[in-house]
Amino acid sequence: MSDETRLTFKEMCAKFDVTPRTLRYYEYIELLSPDREGRTRFYGPRERARMELILRGRSFGFALEHIRQWLLIYENEGTEAQMRAWVDMANGQIAELATKRAELEEAFTELTRLRDLTLITLAEQA
């Protein structure tokens, strides 16, 4: 693989706007496996693609362990199995987000109601 298609540790952090600690942690939990030459790490197209999937999964609220297991499906069972697992994961996350949205809407409504009651009380005391 040519050096032009590989990123160094520092370049990988900059490209994906992550801290060195985050990148090292992703390696530690085996989400990423860069090539090593001595103490230097290099990230090729595979690792960059995985990083994009990891960050996208995190933006949807998936746990890192679920992302790791999903990435392993591709390695062990192939694309179709991974896509089926993705649909299942997405369905579960959509349901969880819908529940959180309902809870947030309820909290928003109640907080607004209490604020308005407080404003009325303050206006009556003035």
Query: What DSSP string describes 93-117?
Result: HHHHHHHHHHHHHHHHHHHHHHHHH
Q: Is residue 119 part of a domain?
A: no
Q: Is residue 121 part of a domain?
A: no
Domain hosting residue 72, numbered range: 3-96
Residues 100 and 104: their CA atoms lie apart, in Å, by: 6
Q: Is residue 24 part of a domain?
A: yes
* Per-residue model confidence (pLDDT) at position 3: 57
Count of CB atoms situated within 10 Å of the CB of 73: 17
Q: Is residue 59 part of a domain?
A: yes
Q: What is the pLDDT of residues 40-86, one digit of tens each?
A: 999 999 999 999 999 999 999 999 999 999 999 988 999 999 999 99
Check which CATH number belongs to the domain holding 29 and give it.
1.10.1660.10
* CA dihedral of 66, 72, 78, 82, whole degrees rounded to 10: 0
How many structural domains is the chain composed of?
A: 1
* Per-residue model confidence (pLDDT) at position 98: 97
Q: Is residue 52 part of a domain?
A: yes
